[in-house]
Structure 1
Amino acid sequence: MDLLGDHLARARASNAVFVRTVAAPPWGLRLAGSIQLSVHTVVRGRAWLWFDDESLTPVELAPGDVTLVRGGPDHYIGHEPGATWLEPEEFRACHSRDEYADDPRATVFLCGAYRFSGDVGSGLLDALPQVLPLSAAVGDPLRDVIGLLSSELATAAPGQPTVLDRLLDILLVLAIRTSFRQSPTAPRWYRASADPRLSAALQAIHEDAAHPWSVPELAGISGLSRAAFARTFREALGQTPMQYLTDWRMTLARDYLRNGELGLAKIAEVTGYGSPYAFATAFRRHHGTPPGAWRRQELAHTSNPLAAH
């Protein structure tokens, strides 16, 4: 197991959508900021991506490039920056057929939309910039996946939804991996997972959060003395091993509480607390409210669409 794979598995996206479109100028499309993560790539031609916020520079999309856009402000795609745009429903109605496929001015592009779940997913999204352009050189797996997506979307075929779902997963993993590898603001756990002095201990924590880990045991897994391990861990992650373990357990606990699939006794067990009382005490100390009350607040928030306004 690797930490990025673990985070992606726990943040499993839902209702993923991927659409291939052929459009000849003039054209434009608005995409709502409520989409948690959008993935855009051009197969043929050129397109531009821009925001209402003038501090965000328009991004030109060329064949082989992939651009991730995190939720927040609305964003737009068109044949040129500031082009007149349509809402998605109108746009699909106008560009539902490949009538411009032979037009040399036409752009063939793919748009994907992903929704992550829970605090693990939010942590992944928060580690990404608002807009992230990635260039896929010849031989880059990103380019290969884009080609496969385009071919699969060209015509309907048996099992196509499953194929598209898997290809979108692969595209997203490759894009996030490239982003984290290149970014100086990548999550600390990602950078630390590449450190041979820390990777084994981090994997152990993520594989079995319920285990009663201690600093000496984690240091032994890492092949370091207790003092050297504690110092290296704090320098890399900005907190002690036990603080990191508690934070990870609380992250898991919030997601378990939110989805409602486990009772408090089971959550206590899988997050390493000996009893529901011990778990409730730790949760209250960490969040200032008991787990039951926290879950009720979350349910009330998600059931009320005006709660965030």
Structure 2
Amino acid sequence: MDLLQDHLTRARASGGVFARTVAVPPWGLTLAGTIQLSVHTVVQGRAWLWFDDPGQAIELAPGELALVRGGRAHHIAHEPGAECSDHTEFLARPAPSEPAPGQRLTVFLCGAYRFSGDIGQGLLDALPEVVPLSAGVGDPLHGVVSVLSQELSGDEPGQQTVLDRLLDVLLVLALRTALRQSPDAPRWFRASADPRVSGALRAMHEDAARTWTVPELAAICGLSRAAFARLFAQALGQTPMQYLTDWRMAIVRDHLRTTDLTLAQIADRTGYGSPYALAAAFQRHHGMPPGAWRERRP
């Protein structure tokens, strides 16, 4: 079980829109903060990305990407502080003419991703507001961006399927790199690379419904119960059983929000012997019964 893949699958992460744009100065685009996660990469030329202060703009050169988490609107343009239009107006602009002497044509890609539920929000919350990434030659990100650019430059049979798969790959590679670089990456992500506890984490994610015990989890990691409990607490900041409960509750909330499964069915999938046991655990964890939580779900 790959923990990042498990989170992405349960978050139902998917590419919403993706576009290849050719622009000649002056140009500028504003993207709303309601986009949960966007990615920008320049294939040719230069672009600048900023939020409120153009003085804090990030330059994007070919081979560089930026992941932008939702919250505040952001701008991308040929130079910091350029006048920007919203997505609809930008797409309606006349086709670019040939650049004048000294002007630099820019080819860039913009994508938007959607996430679902608390697990998806947890992934987003683990990211800084903007994450600059470099995709040099030899980096898998570089290859994916190149293929995306080529695919978007024409209209080929089966193109949407190709784009969907490439977007999936781009998202996983970019998130993996971003989380590795982030000092605030979730503890489960850092711990998933620790061979002393990673086996237990994978086991709990692979079969959250199993009645796990600390000795069983310790045995998976080849450690004594005491050593495992100590190392797990150091890596995750909580006991193995607390982590398991938190993960089960995240799955329960996901089912309550996105499915019509009964409490009995959810209990069976999350390791609770009955809907009553699940309801009691949910009440302790959230301060309200699951039925009431489901009724007021966003």
Flag the 1:9–1:181 CA change in 2: closer, same or farther, 3 A.
same
CA contact (8 A) 1:22 1:100 kept: no
Name the residue aligned to 1:296: 295
CA contact (8 A) 1:16 1:165 kept: no
Name the residue aligned to 2:50: 50
Cα deviation 1:217-259 (Å, max 9, x = unaligned)? 1111111000000000000000000000000000010010000
CA–CA distance in structure 2, aligned partners of residues 65 and 200 of structure 1: 34
Cα deviation 1:58-101 (Å, max 9, x = unaligned)? 11011011100000010000011111011101101115x56559
Deviation at 1:261, TM superposition (A): 3.3
Cα deviation 1:34-81 (Å, max 9, x = unaligned)? 000000000000000011157x82110110111000000100000111
* Amino acid corresponding to residue 243 of structure 1 in structure 2: Q
Deviation at 1:262, TM superposition (A): 1.4
Flag the 1:143–1:98 CA change in 2: closer, same or farther, 3 A.
farther
**Structure 1 SS opposite 2:296:** helix
Name the residue aligned to 2:35: 35
Q: Which residues of 2 match residues 1-309 of structure 1 at below 5 A?
A: 1-14=1-14, 16-52=16-52, 57-94=56-93, 97=95, 99-100=97-98, 105-298=104-297, 302=298
CA–CA distance in structure 2, aligned partners of residues 19 and 246 of structure 1: 41
CA contact (8 A) 2:15 2:164 kept: no
CA contact (8 A) 1:216 1:226 kept: yes
Q: What TM-score do you get using the length of structure 2 for normalisation?
A: 0.96
CA contact (8 A) 1:265 1:275 kept: yes
Q: What TM-score do you get using the length of structure 1 for normalisation?
A: 0.93
**Structure 1 SS opposite 2:223:** coil
CA–CA distance in structure 2, aligned partners of residues 195 and 15 of structure 1: 31
More displaced 10-residue stretch of structure 1: 174-183 or 66-75: 174-183
Flag the 1:18–1:12 CA change in 2: closer, same or farther, 3 A.
same
**Structure 2 SS opposite 1:18:** strand
* Unaligned stretches of 5+ residues in structure 2: none
**Structure 1 SS opposite 2:56:** coil
Aligned length: 297
CA contact (8 A) 1:22 1:101 kept: no
Q: Percent identity?
A: 69
The alignment yields a C-alpha RMSD, in angstroms, of: 1.6
More displaced 10-residue stretch of structure 1: 68-77 or 172-181: 172-181
Flag the 1:222–1:72 CA change in 2: closer, same or farther, 3 A.
same
* Amino acid corresponding to residue 213 of structure 1 in structure 2: W
* Amino acid corresponding to residue 3 of structure 1 in structure 2: L
**Structure 1 SS opposite 2:92:** helix
* Amino acid corresponding to residue 237 of structure 1 in structure 2: L
Cα deviation 1:85-138 (Å, max 9, x = unaligned)? 11101101115x565599962100000000101111111101100000001111
* Unaligned stretches of 5+ residues in structure 1: 303-309
